[in-house]
Amino acid sequence: MDAFILGCISFCTSVITGVIGVGGGLLLIAILPSFLPANDLIPIHGLNQITSNVSRAYFGYKNIQFQVIPKFLIGSLVGVGTFACFLTMISLTYIPLFIGTYILLSLWSQSFNNKITKYENYYVIGFFQTGLSVIVGTTGQLAMVKLLKEFKDKDKVIATSALLMSLTHILKIIVFIYFGFVFHDYLSIIISMIIGSILGSYCGSKLRDKIKGEKLIFALKILLSMLAVKSILSII
């Protein structure tokens, strides 16, 4: 039953990201603590997000701005190696606390967002986006801010962001495999979520021009905030 439910949730969150370009990954990782142990949240979420982002990039392939990839990838490689060291220094029991705090700050603290986005350079963005994702799960809005300023076409922004996030999650999954995470233990859940992600990406790409993003974004922020608080309280 959990596999089916998570597949449906994965579908819905993938649709949201397909429509507005960001938010679905945050929503998914805020929901996962209700279904998965704390130690397994980030790797399962990361594997799912690879599928979601790769499929979204595929459906928008012609709009991807490939010139930004090399700089982002170099920063990502350095970042994932640096931040992976923290995994050996903290208890993964507190991952829900990191996730909930990060979500609340990202949604409501302008000073926090100003601090993490003012270094608008693809090397730096790759470093922090991929590095931080090892600890908090998803950080797609870091690159989104830069892409929105550089490209005015939302299809270019969403497709390029999807490819950058694919690289982020692929590198993150390599880290968790290195630390010995066994994905086979969650095979049915993973398959269900992958199917949901692909279908959601397809539907989101078709709905993008038919749904007003402003109302959806506001409702998403409220829901995310509630889930973030729940995530923080879950470790108390």
HEC sequence for 13-32: HHHHHHHHCCCHHHHHHHHH
End-to-end CA distance of the chain: 27
**Of 48, 1, 56, whose CA–CA distance to 27 is shortest?**
48
* DSSP structure class, residue 89: T
* DSSP H or E segment with residue 6: helix 2-20
How far apart, in whole angstroms, are the C-alpha atoms of residue 170 and residue 162?
12
Instruction: Give the pLDDT of residue 121.
Output: 84
Local structure of residue 152 (DSSP, 8 states): -
pLDDT at 12: 93
Place of tokens 């998965």: 36
40/37 Cα distance (integer angstroms): 6
pLDDT at residue number 7: 93
pLDDT of residue 215: 67
Query: What pLDDT is stored for residue 220 in this prediction?
Result: 65
Cα angle 120, 124, 125 (rounded to 5 degrees) comes to 70
Closest among 156, 189, 159 to 43, alpha carbons compared: 189
Asked if 79 contacts 217 with a C-beta cutoff of 8 angstroms, the reply is no
Instruction: Give the whole-angstrom CA distance, residue 45 versus residue 5.
Output: 15
pTM: 0.78
Dihedral of alpha carbons 181, 169, 72, 107, sign: negative
Q: Roughly what angle, to the nearest 10 degrees, separates helices 2-20 and 41-59?
A: 50
Q: What are the DSSP E strand ranges found in the chain? A: none
pLDDT at 217: 65
The pLDDT value given to residue 134: 83
Residue 90 is predicted with a pLDDT of: 67
Going from the first residue of the chain to its last (236 residues), give the mean pLDDT of each consecutive group of 10, the final group possibly shorter: 90 87 81 85 88 89 92 94 79 75 83 74 88 77 76 83 91 87 86 92 84 67 80 78
